[in-house]
């Protein structure tokens, strides 16, 4: 598969522990370089990772949580050109699971926003969430 670059971003609310937000990201994304940047209300956590290895934890969670078919639908709808754009619930990620959500509506602490760049997004979705039947 062609090169894969993963960008992750989430706001760190004043009531949140920065270490716990990092932990949530690390539960889903491997091999990431994490930094904290200033944002409007507080700080935001930004992570970048390259290669399929960065997505192994996400792929494993989709399989272990038995949500591959639902994830396929969400991920195929999330393809925009050579990018896949989706959001995950931060609290669920902290618990080591995956729950897709809308940008702000379904995640009280704000979502974790993923942007995956690849030359073959359909093929990447097939790899991340292979059909179960």
| Within a domain: 8 | yes
- Which pLDDT value is given to residue 104? 64
DSSP string, 39-80: -SSSEEEEEEEESGGGGHHHHHHHHHTT-HHHHHHHHHHTEE
30 domain-assigned: yes
The whole domain housing 49 covers: 4-128
* 22 lies in some domain: yes
Does any domain span residue 47? yes
* Per-position pLDDT tens, the chain of length 133: 679 999 999 999 888 999 999 999 999 997 788 999 988 778 999 999 999 999 999 999 999 999 999 999 999 999 999 999 999 999 999 999 999 998 666 567 789 999 999 999 999 999 999 888 7
Count the domains in the chain.
1
d(CA 41, CA 51): 32
- pLDDT for the residue numbered 23: 94
What pLDDT is recorded for position 31? 75
Residue 133, in any domain of the structure? no
pLDDT of residue 4: 96
């Amino acid at each position: 598969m062609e090169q894969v670059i993963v960008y992750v971003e989430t706001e760190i609310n004043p009531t949140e522990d920065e270490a716990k937000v990092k932990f949530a990201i690390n539960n889903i994304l491997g091999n990431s370089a994490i930094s904290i940047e200033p944002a409007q209300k507080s700080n935001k956590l930004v992570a970048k990772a390259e290669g399929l290895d960065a997505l192994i934890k996400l792929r494993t969670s989709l399989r272990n949580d038995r949500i591959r078919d639902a994830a396929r639908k969400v991920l195929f709808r999330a393809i925009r050109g050579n990018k896949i754009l989706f959001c995950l619930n931060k609290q669920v990620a902290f618990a080591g699971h995956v729950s897709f959500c809308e940008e702000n509506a379904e995640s009280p602490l704000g979502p974790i926003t993923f942007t995956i760049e690849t030359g073959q997004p359909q093929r990447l979705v097939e790899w991340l969430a292979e059909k179960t039947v």
